[in-house]
Structure 1
Amino acid sequence: MWQKSLDHQNLSEEEEKRALAKAPSLRFRFILAGVLVIGIIAGLAINLIFDYSQKLADLSYDRLLRSALLQIDENVSLIRNEVSIDIPWSAFATLAQADEDRVFYKVESLEQGFITGYQDLNSTPPKPPVLDQIQFYNQEYSGELVRFAWLERSLTDPETSQTVRIVLGQTRLSREAMSTAVTQRAVEVVVFIALVALTLIAIGSHLVLQPLHRIERALEERAMGDLTPLDINTPKETHHLKVAINHFMARLQTNLEQLENYTADAAHQLRTPLASLKALAENARDNTSADSSSPQAQQQALENIVKQCDALSQTVTLLLNQAVVSHRLQTHRLEPTSLLEPIRASCRAQAVTALHQGVQLSLDCDLSDAVVLGDSFSIQQMMQNLIENAVRYSSLGMNNATEVIVQVSEFERFYRIRVIDYGNGIPDIEKSRVFERFYRGRYDIAGSGVGLAMVKDIVDHHSARIEILDTYPKGTTFQVDFAKFMFDEDTV
């Protein structure tokens, strides 16, 4: 036995390790989410840095290009109706600061035509030309991407006027080198910041999960059977988890108490009939062995044994039903169900038994349907116990026949069930105790003292209301009100 338990424990540990290996990691997800977020932010930052470095390089070198273009423009003049230009070497000296780049230029007159520069340089700006306004743009020329500055202005003298166009271009090697240097330095900073952020996320994930580890340790260090609420300080994010665990342990404690009560009920209910059955059997045995035993005495002894067996069978059935009802109330959700079906089933099941005890059982109901939020099996057990109780305390024998009436009526917001008997009734002083477990008003009538306690549990679970009223001229009426189930027209 010990070896089998040890093997089972080792197997459970191996299964737990396999389950742990397959289980997703909350810390890994937290770090992965951080990596994704930081990666997206870093990607956007690098893209913005690249665009900014391009614009910064263009802004810096466009100033040089503008300066050179204006120097060329200052040396353009109109002499004797002809455009004259003297290219200043200072303009090219300005552009020579980018020693790896080549320079292209062209000066032409719309009226006179080509004047100087690269004659095949036919570059036009993407935007419509505006006089005296410099435009910068990129365009392919001589197999390279060139940055152009374009200017068009009018030359006038007293006799004529002409429009001069100046196009000055420079390759982008220095610009690209500057942009690359700025981008590389910025990317290094972004990557460093991202690595620091990821390190902080890894450390932060450990700190964030510390409350969960504290809850885990608090549960593992507890003694077996300790279901008291957790009393540790936790952040708001894990407070609801702690509350849920406490609620779960409270429900588990309630279940254990109910199991203990059920075990006590079973022991209490079975001990007495078993002892009585044993005594009857021993008495029958002693009478059988005696010479004075008569067939009538033997028959009476056997009848007593059969009755006691029936009582024991009823007790076992009641305990089993109580266990099923307790389980259903804890595990099954209340659903829309017909209230009439369990009532009719209970009346049919108890009708014959009632007749054997001299009680006429009748159902007074004019409703075609009655829907409540509940559990059909539990409601049927409730009705069965109420009817059994009414029949038991109304039974006076066939010569003094009485009746038990089950009434079902409808009101605006609820359905009312009445179980009416005409027995001796319940004194007012005892009405507040009839729902206590094991309480019995009369010990000369067979009973367990558990049925009405189960009825109260079922009524409370269904948020119903039960009252004990007096029947006129004598007897007892158990009245139960169930709230109607209101259909939502928007979801039907």
Structure 2
Amino acid sequence: MYRPESSLFSRLLLRVAIVLAVGAAILMSAAWLYVRAAADEAYDRLLQGAALQMLEGLTVEDGKLVVNLPSSAFELLGLAGRDRIFYRVIDPGGQTMTGYEDLTPDVDLSRTRPGPVLLNMRYRGEPLRVIVAGKAISDPTTSGWAHVVIAQTIQARRALASELSARALALVAAMSGLALAGTALAIRYSLRPVSALGETLVARDPQDLTPLTVDVPRELSPFVSSINHFVRRLDERVKLLQRFIADSAHQIRTPLTALSAQVSLIDESNLPESDRRHLERVRDRAGELARFTNQLLNHAMVIHRFDSAQLVPLDLTRVARKAFRAAIPITIDPDIVVSFEAPDEDVVVLGDELSLREAIVNVIDNSLRHGTVSRLEVRVVHTPDFGLVEVEDDGPGIPEADWGQVTQRFVTSKSGEGSAGLGFAISSEVAAALGGELTFRSRNEEHGFTVVLKLPLRGQGKS
């Protein structure tokens, strides 16, 4: 059983979206690492500049090391307005000359001789970025290495990293959205051959069993080849079915006709009463078998023709008149009044003439065999949207409770009276295939029981 699943477009788009999401996540992680490194580098340069300016303020005066802290150093550190600054100046003897005496980074001061050392530490419960720089003091009275320690809180660099990350995130999101939209358009355009192939299949006539001749991408070629292979096999099966129905109709009807003819030639005058009764039963059973066989073959023919025949405009009056002549036997009881009425205007419907005539014949035949007492009327009626074939008789009719069942195969309201239960089934299937329906109308004071074959007029579409 065919169960539609999610579309190929949505599945492709979902997979592309997942790839874009993973790529965006990787890109954002890389961007986050980059902006943090960039923010650290920018503020580390401020720390280095301030440390060098403080080192330049260390001079020897009168044999003593003096600290002259330049204001420019603090102005430089003030560029990070959110941060707090801690500093300490250490003389060559390791004593604090100025600043926070407890600001003691965990670093060997000798490592600063090649250049400033940057590190992270916690001070008074806050994370800090620290620079330690050294300067060689060369004076006869004072010599050695003096050091400057500057520590800065990291709020400003975090804020800068967050701002740059937000901008990068917005840029990545915008680019991912544009990429996804572009991908959706590209996928939709690429899948157009699939839709075109489906439209070609839908637009094909049901009776067209020729192979598909469409231009498709190479990826769809196996699919089209499989369809063509199936169509060829189906065409072979349909032709085989046609031959089977034709052969069956000939091989079965001919012996039955011969059997009925042979039974009718038997001389009953010299037969005893019991043998005449048996002969009458054989004659009745042979007639029932012939009618039942004809209905089965007609039913198969109707089903096949609607699978293979092309519907054409038909004059419903002309078809109904032919069916009326075919269904009324020459040997009909002369006491039965039979009539046919038709409108003056044409009643044009779309259909297959052979199947439609068979449907009307079955309705008339059913009325003659199981309904008509003394009157049978066949009417063609023209309404604004439909053409009607009404078959009315003066019999008891079918109980309304059985109306929904008598149009099913092998269901009859006349059990035991030689009814096969296929007449109304054939007529109902033909009406449904032509967009109409088979309905019933109860008898009343003015009219008898009526069977109505209702078909849409040409150009009205299926009802």
- TM score, norm. by length of structure 1: 0.46
- TM score, norm. by length of structure 2: 0.49
